[in-house]
Amino acid sequence: MSKSRKCCSGSQCTRSEEKLRVINIGLSMFYDAIVLQGAKAVQLEWQPPAELEKEISDLLDDLL
């Protein structure tokens, strides 16, 4: 038996009627797994900004 809850449209729907929609930020393997399960997904290619704070940059320089 499916649980019923309010959908964003205000009507009642069961979980089996809901469609999962995902925005994946990061590893594309997560996107692939979501799509393989039949959900709609969008892969967002994002990287942190290249500029680092001086302290973080210095720490990275010490490590490398």
Q: Are the CB atoms for 25 and 46 separated by under 8 Å?
A: yes
pLDDT 10s digits, 9-62? 666 656 666 788 999 998 999 999 999 999 999 999 887 777 767 888 888 889
Domain residue extents for the chain: 20-63
HSE of 16 in the Cβ direction (CA atoms, 13 Å)? 3
- For the chain, the first-to-last Cα distance in angstroms comes to 56
Q: How far is CA 60 from CA 14, 49, 64, in A?
A: 50, 15, 6
pLDDT at position 40 is: 94
pTM over the 0.75 mark? no
Reported as a pLDDT band with limits 50, 70 and 90, residue 1 is: very low
| Helices within the chain (DSSP H only) | 28-36, 54-63
Amino acid type, 26: G
